[in-house]
Amino acid sequence: MAAPREPGGEAPFAQRIDPEREPGLSPQQRLLMAQVERAQRQRALQRRLRGRNALVALGFGAVVLGIYGYTFYSVSQERFLDDLEQEAEAARARARARAESAKS
């Protein structure tokens, strides 16, 4: 068992080794280390993609909600304008009726 190093020194288990240059490793051990490193890189890539996918989903959701909200707003404005036009038409009819009654 290796003796612990001084505080602040690098522990032996934390040292990075190059499996191609490390003496004493069998080809199977080198292959296993390469497979583990590939798997770790793949997991890191998947985590990044998962985060990006979440951001894209939130962006799409915001766009959909914006379109939905704008549609409701514009429909309510059309109803308002329709109601306003009906009131204007009724006011014109009352004005015509008054004008006709004033002529007679």
pLDDT in tens, 3-60: 555 555 656 666 777 777 777 888 888 888 889 889 999 999 988 888 899 999 999 9
Specify if 9 maps to a domain.
no
Instruction: Check whether 1 has a pLDDT greater than 70.
Output: no
According to DSSP, residue 20 is labeled T
Query: Do 19 and 33 meet the contact criterion of CB atoms below 8 Å apart?
Result: yes
pTM summary value: 0.43
Residues of the domain holding 56:
25-103
Q: How many domains does the chain contain in total?
A: 1
Specify if 12 maps to a domain.
no
Specify if 13 maps to a domain.
no
> How many residues can be counted in the chain?
104
Specify if 58 maps to a domain.
yes
Q: Return the sign of the alpha-carbon dihedral for residues 84, 85, 90, 96.
A: positive
Lowest model confidence (mean pLDDT) among 11-20, 69-78, 92-101: 11-20
